[in-house]
Amino acid sequence: MDIVQKYFDDFTATQQDQLKALEELYRDWNEKINVISRKDIESLYEKHVLHSLSIAAVFHFPPGTQVVDLGAGGGFPGVPLAIFFPEVEFLLVDSIGKKLKVVDAVSEAIGLKNLQTRHCRIEDVKDKKFDFVVSRAVAPLKDLWQWSRPLIRKDPAKHTVRLIEKGDHAPGLICLKGGDLTQEIFESGTRPHIMAISDLFTEPFFEEKYLVYVPK
């Protein structure tokens, strides 16, 4: 928790309580359903919570923004982002139901009111449009963009995001990626904006980790 507060110091008391509760909840659930690797559970706040919040360090989602977490797994980046943005609506989608069982339990335990889950493939979400799709280490950018594009609303008039110190940005895909992305970006046919997370957080874990933003 200290490592999160190193970079974010304006949480409400409720948000602090919610974040602090994550460690015990994920430890307990990880004994039943392995949603986080055993070695990473010891670094939950650095490798999962803070990594997820790198999106919040760059993007500001106004109240009413609608976000879908593609391949949410055990709830990252969706759960930390839902804590950070309590007035933003999050839908966490995954094809593995037992992982969403963990998300539902964690969400209920900490009192998240702005998060829902759906057990399905992302291609089966056809009843809603979103301002942003977020994802972490799920698939190549080519696939992520193919799945995301139909879900992203075309009209940004009512739902916009401000990229801090960079101006207004359109709805799109925001994903967390690592390593050399040259070939992956080429194969995707997209022209994304790339931001190094190591410019935000100084820990060695974040070297060669990036925020990739593809506007629609």
Is 85 annotated as contributing to ligand binding?
no
Cα–Cα distances (Å) from 5 to 28, 57, 155, in that order, read 23, 12, 35
pLDDT score of 213? 96
Residue type, 69: D
| Angle, in degrees to the nearest 10, between helices 13-32 and 97-110 | 150
pLDDT score of 170? 80
Enter the pTM of the model. Answer: 0.92
Q: Which residues of the chain have pLDDT under 70?
A: 155-169
| Cα distance between residue 72 and residue 114, in whole Å | 15
Is 74 annotated as contributing to ligand binding?
no
| pLDDT, tens digit (0-9, with 9 covering 90-100), for 16-64 | 999 999 999 999 998 888 888 777 888 999 999 999 999 999 998 989 9
pLDDT score of 168? 58
Quick count: other Cβ atoms within 10 Å of Cβ 48? Answer: 24
| Cα distance between residue 188 and residue 35, in whole Å | 28
Is 121 annotated as contributing to ligand binding?
no
Is 132 annotated as contributing to ligand binding?
no
Kindly tell me the number of DSSP H helices and DSSP E strands found in the chain.
Answer: 8, 10
What domains can be seen in the chain, in order of their start residue? 2-215 (3.40.50.150)
Is 76 annotated as contributing to ligand binding?
yes
Tell me how long the chain is: 216
